[in-house]
Every structure is written in structure tokens, then in C-alpha cells.
Amino acid sequence: MALTRRSSNLLKSLTTINPTTRLFSTSSDSSITIETSVPFTGHKIDPPSRSVTTSSSELMTFFTDMSQMRRMEIAADSLYKAKLIRGFCHLYDGQEAVAVGMEAAITRKDNIITAYRDHCLYLGRGGTLLETFAELMGRKDGCSKGKGGSMHFYKKENGFYGGHGIVGAQVPLGCGLAFAQKYSKEDNVSFALYGDGAANQGQLFEALNMAALWDLPAILVCENNHYGMGTAEWRAAKSPAYYKRGDYVPGLKVDGMDALAVKQACKFAKEHALKNGPIILEMDTYRYHGHSMSDPGSTYRTRDEITGVRQERDPIERIRKLLLSHDIATEKELKDIEKEIRKEVDQAIAAAKESPMPDPSELFTNVYVKGYGVEAFGADRKEVRTVLP
């Protein structure tokens, strides 16, 4: 379906929206020092200070970015149930502090690679709501042209390398990205994210061994949400202290529900990796949804457990309390921001629905290196059916 003039203008406006530029009560942007919720725990390394320096604008950015991520994932849930999103879909709500805290500590020249729970990390790397929803719905305006779907988001120009569906397979690739950075004498690092469910993969340890041998600037981040699909960590791992799993490689346990703690840990890890080689970060986090949309998430854990985490550790509510207690914003201003985000998400969904499906010819693109395609013959090997680009 062709885009109308109205939807074309909507696409243009959505790609330029910056939700972090809203006004708020205070005009001051002086430094604020805040102590992390819990101490860091180190393995073969002295942990960083609990005192984190931040600012009014950074806290507001954390709030708006995490609120946008949360709303986006809730909307994706509804779209999936309406059968507008098909196939696999893994939601990130609850874990937003990892995405925003990590971005606050690094630059777009640092690389990030992750598994299939990738929507919010893509948004953090500079992706748009339109590109996200269009990709989820298999539309042409998606970040992977509608051909990747939920598990395969990419933004190479901003250092985001996916989006991978094979459990743990992104970790060796992440170490390869770090190898390229060291080979090119770049002053940057690569973050390879994986879940506790992937922490027992052999390829993870093989890649970590090579990274340690070559002192690669690789940071392995275990997003420990405590359930690998429907299996609790203690049922799958004899030693669920994942930050210690590197043995000879230093590790750090971090409260992954505290954006400021994540920022402090990632800054510390980047400095360490550039000087000394790999390090493991275990982010103690939690997902509110099930493993994927086919998992109700309530058969292997109680609703009271989920509610308890929401009430005591929710990353957005923690930032909200800081904003209010430091008189940076009022309750009304924060609610207005959330209302505006809902509108932006609804507009993005409307525009994504009007985005056309990929042309059938796209089936044959991005398969071979450009100019090195092959001819596809019929069964008799005589008639050329198509030439792959």
C-alpha cells in the first residue's frame, strides 16, 4: 500500500522527535552526587565507588528514555496479541536501566551486540519508534527493511550489531568486534550482552579465553533476569554467580535495576578493558513479561514476586523519586511527559501500519556480497530463473 501525503509527513516528523528536549521545573543543570542502591561486588578486581555524579538533564533523559522504552514494549504486546506482529517477540520491560545506563557511559563508536531481546537497546543506540514498529510488523520502513523482525534489529552506523536468534552466538561475534577495534588501534570497546540462560554456553568460554589471551577490549554483560526461558537460574547453573564465571577474568556484580549503577559500572569496565582486556559485568535485573509472547510468565514464578519487584526495584520509579526529591520536576510534569510519549508511540504505530510490505525481490537481496551473486536455474539446469544480486 502506497504511503499517503499525510502519513509521509508523519514519517518525517517521527524521525526527528527528540523526547529528551522537554521542559521541566528547574533551569539548573548542576552536578548531583547520588549513591547507588547497593554496593558493587567485585571478582579479582576492586569495585568502583558507589557515589555517582549525574545532573538534572541526565536524570530527565533517563526518565524519558526508559518511559519511552516501557511504553513501546507494552504497545508491542498489544500489537502481537492483535496479530500485527508475528513470529518470535521477546520484550524488555523491567530491564530498561541496563540500556540507558550503558549508553550514558559510552559513545556510539563503542559497539553493542546482543541476543533477541533487542528492541530497547536499538532505541538506545539512536533508532526511532517508527523503525522499531515497522520492523516488528515486517514493513519496508523497518530498521532491517522488514526482513529481520523482532530478533534482528541492526544499526551498524551507530555501533549496534544486532539482534541474534541463536542463544549465546553473539558473544564470539562481540569478541570479534573487539578484536577489530584492537587491530585498528581504536580507543573503543565492544559490549557483548547475553542472558543467564546463555551463560553455560561453551562458545562463551571459548571466546572469553581468546579475548583474555589477546587482551581484547571486550566487555561481556550478563543480563541476569533470573529465568532462562522458564527455568530459574539455580535450576540451570551450579554457580549462578555469573560475574565470577570468568575465573581468570575480572568480574563485577551490578544492580541492573539502577540506571546510575549501570552507568558507573560500564564507565569503570570501559576504562579497565582498554588498559587490561576483558571484564564480565553481571546485571542483576528482571523482566516483567514472560520469556517471549508465547510464555505467560506466571507458571514458574508467582504474581506476588513480579509485583514485589515492580514496587521495590522498578528502574523508572527509582528515577522518578530522584527527580521529585531533588525538585528537578513535578509529578504533573512527569505525567505530562508520559502522556506525550503515549502520543508519540501511537503516531509511530499508525505510520508503521501505513508503511508498505517489502517488495518480493527483497527475498534475494543481502544474501551475497554485492556483485558476487549467482544465477538460479530451473530443475533442468538450462533455464535461468533469476539472477541473485
DSSP 158-224: GTB-----STTTHHHHHHHHHHHHHHTT-S--EEEEEEGGGTT-HHHHHHHHHHHHTT--EEEEEEE
Residue 146: the pLDDT is 96
Distance (Å, rounded) from C-alpha 284 to C-alpha 277?
23
The pLDDT of 140-147, averaged and rounded, is: 96
Place 249 in a pLDDT band, splitting at 50, 70 and 90: very high
Q: Which residue has the higher pLDDT, 24 or 313?
A: 313
3-state secondary structure of 361: helix
Place 119 in a pLDDT band, splitting at 50, 70 and 90: very high
Query: What is the widest separation between alpha-carbon atoms in the chain?
Result: 76
Q: Which helix (H) or strand (E) holds 232?
A: strand 231-232
Q: For residue 289, what is its C-alpha cell?
A: 513479561
The pLDDT of 346-364, averaged and rounded, is: 93
Residue 370: the pLDDT is 73
List pLDDT tens digits, range 298-307. 999 999 999 9
Residue 385: the pLDDT is 62
Place 360 in a pLDDT band, splitting at 50, 70 and 90: confident
Residue 70: pLDDT over 70? yes
Residue 353: pLDDT over 70? yes
Between strands 384-387 and 375-377, the pairing is: antiparallel
For the chain, the distance separating the N- and C-terminal CA atoms, rounded to the nearest angstrom, is 25
User: Closest by alpha carbon to 138, among 146, 150, 130, 128?
Assistant: 146
Distance (Å, rounded) from C-alpha 189 to C-alpha 174?
10
Contact of 70 with 344, CB cutoff 8 Å: no
User: Closest by alpha carbon to 220, among 257, 259, 189?
Assistant: 189
Place 367 in a pLDDT band, splitting at 50, 70 and 90: confident
Q: What percent of the chain has pLDDT over 90?
A: 84
Distance (Å, rounded) from C-alpha 111 to C-alpha 77?
28
Q: For residue 38, what is its C-alpha cell?
A: 547497593
Residue 6: pLDDT over 80? no
The model carries a pTM of: 0.89
Residue 387: the pLDDT is 66
Residue 352: pLDDT over 80? yes
List pLDDT tens digits, range 183-239. 999 999 999 999 999 999 999 999 999 999 999 999 999 999 999 999 999 999 999
Distance (Å, rounded) from C-alpha 232 to C-alpha 334?
35
